[in-house]
Amino acid sequence: MATATLVIMRHGESAWTDKRVNKFAGWVDVPLTDRGRAQAAEAGRLMREAHILPDAVFTSLLGRSIVSADIALGEVGRLWVPVIRSWRLNERHYGAFQGQTRPAMRERYGDELFNTYRRSFGVRPPAIALDSPYFQGDDPRYGTPSQDGLDGTDPRAIRSECLRDVIARLEPFWGAYVTPPLLLGQTVLVVTHGSVVRSLMKVIEGLTADQIRNVNVPTGQPRVYEFEAGGLGGLSLKAPGRWLDPDAASRGARETLALGESNPA
């Protein structure tokens, strides 16, 4: 019976994750900070020291995910590994919150509604305006190159998402692309975004909607799962997921929590 390894990781710190900026990014293509690049390099070193060598890699279509994966792969000497990129691994679409600061949105909507929009499993933030500079409708990356035929979803038309929506758009991609190498006993690296990591944790670990609401994902920290690939083609989780650097992951989770709790300046 083959053993497969899955590593899921949120990208390194981005320019808008920086606590001095503290904006919702969503599908906005925001670059990494120098700290974010260092986090991605450290993630690669952690994988190398743990003898985790990816055979297949998946990223979103956003630069902070792509660059984080490249940096980490460079550290493990695996820049040659095949990479598949998909909008289905993009961050949750934060609707009208994209490009806005967290403190400003908290002040506008109040604590309870703000936290519902940010962390609820099934409630979407207000939809982004079609004329917003942060709407992706005319972005060429979501045109013909992103039509994967997995379902009828058009990524150009998405205007807001909740975590339930993220799981729904992930499922067909996961089954078609990520599961096959795992069934072969390979090591798979997925470099994505905080809401996608939360979605995967919910499904893989069987967390409830209330439990996942309180999960905060650190930037640039690899989380590892090991599976047994059964003879009938199924995957069985061998042990709970683990952070390669639990202390750094705990500190990073507190930073993520603090971004949402920031008071208006």
The token pair that represents 114 in the structure block: 């703000």
Q: Give pLDDT, residue 205.
A: 95
Amino acid of residue 257: L
Q: What is the mean pLDDT of residues 245-259?
A: 95
Q: For position 242, which CATH number holds?
A: 3.40.50.1240
Q: What is the mean pLDDT of residues 164-168?
A: 98
Judged against a pLDDT cut of 50, whether residue 264 lies above it is answered with no
Distance CA(238)–CA(255), nearest Å, equals 30
Whole-number average pLDDT of the chain: 95
Alpha helices in 120-208 (DSSP H): 163-173, 179-183, 194-205
**3-state class of 248 per DSSP?**
helix
Q: Which of 193, 187, 253 is nearest to 224 (CA)?
A: 187
Environment class of 73 (CB within 10 Å of its CB; exposed 0-12, middle 13-18, buried 19+): buried
Q: Which of 13, 42, 75, 91 is catalytic?
A: 91
107 as an active site residue: the answer is no
**3-state class of 32 per DSSP?**
strand
Confidence of residue 28 (pLDDT cuts 50, 70, 90): very high
Q: What is the mean pLDDT of residues 136-150?
A: 93
Q: Which of 11, 42, 93, 193 is catalytic?
A: 11
Distance CA(13)–CA(21), nearest Å, equals 12
Domain that holds residue 235: 2-261
Confidence of residue 265 (pLDDT cuts 50, 70, 90): very low
Q: Give pLDDT, residue 97.
A: 97
More confident: 262 or 150 = 150
Quick: pLDDT tens for 70-123.
Answer: 999 999 999 999 999 999 999 999 999 999 999 999 999 999 999 999 989 999
Q: Give pLDDT, residue 128.
A: 98
When divided into structural domains, the chain yields a total of 1
Provide the pairing of β-strand 2-10 with 223-229. antiparallel
Q: Give pLDDT, residue 98.
A: 97
Query: In percent, how much of the chain has pLDDT > 70?
Result: 97
Q: What is the mean pLDDT of residues 57-62?
A: 98
Q: What is the pTM of this model?
A: 0.95
Q: Mutual orientation of helices 102-119 and 246-261 as an angle, nearest 10°?
A: 110
- Distances, alpha carbon 254 to alpha carbons 87, 218, 233, 250, 251, in Å: 28, 8, 38, 6, 5
Confidence of residue 234 (pLDDT cuts 50, 70, 90): confident
Residue 9's contacts (CB-CB under 8 Å, 6 or more residues apart) are: 43, 68, 72, 189, 190, 191, 192, 197, 220, 221, 222, 223
Distance CA(129)–CA(21), nearest Å, equals 22
Half-sphere exposure of 178 (CA within 13 A, CB side): 23
Judged against a pLDDT cut of 90, whether residue 181 lies above it is answered with yes
Judged against a pLDDT cut of 90, whether residue 232 lies above it is answered with no
91 as an active site residue: the answer is yes
**3-state class of 59 per DSSP?**
strand
Region of residue 31 (phi > 0: left; psi between -120 and 50: alpha; otherwise: beta): beta
Q: What is the mean pLDDT of residues 182-195?
A: 97
